[in-house]
């Protein structure tokens, strides 16, 4: 599967200390997308799902992982691999949140792994990103998107998380590179890049 990065612990993309996984590949081309560097799979390695799962299980042996957030890119563009990943992650936590630009109604009409994916996750955040509707809401890049609770056993932690007025963000710095995780204001990316350049620090999308 085409995967960009795995980060842990992430507290700005769902309740608890989560592992966030960014998949590569998206043909949707939303205006103002915060991760255009993840549209093309060119230059990214195709990693076996089993290898990704092995790494995650090793991290889990020494760390409490409360849940997983899978984003990208468009995770549904690698549906077969995504399903295999989700089934493996469920051995650690059933709290699996997936972001998709497709609405659930579209996904349910499709043949293939889509319905199985939806049966095995806790939450789907669905719908196209619309820059004009970016209100920095928790878990929603734009207010037209929906947070759909599929596994109701997770109703309480998600209800608490969504009560926040704005999405929390989390900044990380390692190996001379900085990254900021969460739902950001639409101006955030350019502002951050300018500030970092002043101090000679690279951001993740600089490569
Ligand atoms: S679906 Fe997501 S990754 Fe793809 S272009 Fe839209 S916002 Fe960007």
- Atom of ligand 1 at shortest distance to CA of 26? 4
CATH number at residue 154: 3.20.20.70
Q: By alpha-carbon position, which residue is closest to atom 8 of ligand 1?
A: 33
Mutate to test the pocket of ligand 1, among 101, 103, 125, 130 (most ligand atoms within 8 A of CB): 101
Say how many Å lie between the CA of residue 22 and the centre of ligand 1. 12
In a domain, residue 187? The reply is no
In a domain, residue 56? The reply is yes
The 3-state secondary structure of the chain reads CEEEEEEEEECCCCCCCEEEEEECCCCCCCCCCCCHHHCCCCCCCECCHHHHHHHHHHHHHHCCCCEEEEECCCHHHHHHHHHHHHHHHCCCCCCEEEEECCCHHHHHHCCCCHHHHHHCCCEEEECCCCHHHCCCECCECCCCCEEEECCHHHHHHHHHHHCCCCCCEEEEEECCEEEEEECCCCCHHHHHHHHHHHCCCEEHHHC
Number of domains in the chain: 1
In a domain, residue 189? The reply is no
Q: Which residues form the domain of 106?
A: 3-169
In a domain, residue 95? The reply is yes
In a domain, residue 105? The reply is yes
Say how many Å lie between the CA of residue 49 and the centre of ligand 1. 22
Per-residue pLDDT of the chain (207 residues; tens, 9 = 90+): 999 999 999 999 999 999 999 999 999 999 999 899 999 999 999 999 999 999 999 999 999 999 999 999 999 999 999 999 999 999 999 999 999 999 999 999 999 899 999 999 999 999 999 999 999 999 999 999 999 999 999 999 999 999 999 899 998 887 777 788 999 887 777 777 777 777 777 665 544
């Amino acid at each position: 599967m085409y995967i960009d990065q795995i980060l842990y612990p992430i507290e700005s993309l769902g309740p608890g200390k989560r592992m966030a996984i960014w998949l590569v590949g998206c043909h949707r081309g939303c205006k103002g997308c915060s991760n255009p560097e993840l549209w093309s799979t060119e230059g990214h390695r195709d990693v076996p799902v089993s290898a990704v799962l092995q790494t995650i299980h090793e991290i889990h042996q020494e760390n409490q992982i409360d849940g997983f957030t899978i984003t990208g890119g468009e995770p549904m563009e690698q549906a077969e691999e995504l399903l295999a990943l989700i089934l493996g992650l469920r051995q650690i936590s059933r709290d699996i949140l997936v972001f998709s630009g497709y609405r659930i109604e579209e996904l349910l009409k499709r043949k293939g792994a889509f319905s199985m994916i939806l049966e095995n996750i806790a939450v789907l955040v669905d719908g196209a990103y619309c820059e004009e509707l970016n209100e920095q809401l928790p878990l929603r890049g734009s207010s037209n998107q929906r947070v759909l609770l599929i596994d109701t056993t997770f109703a309480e932690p998600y209800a608490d998380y969504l009560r926040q007025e704005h999405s929390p963000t989390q900044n990380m710095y390692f190996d001379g590179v900085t990254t900021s995780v969460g739902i950001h204001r639409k101006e955030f990316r350019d502002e951050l890049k300018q500030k970092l350049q002043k101090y000679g620090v690279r951001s993740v999308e600089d490569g």
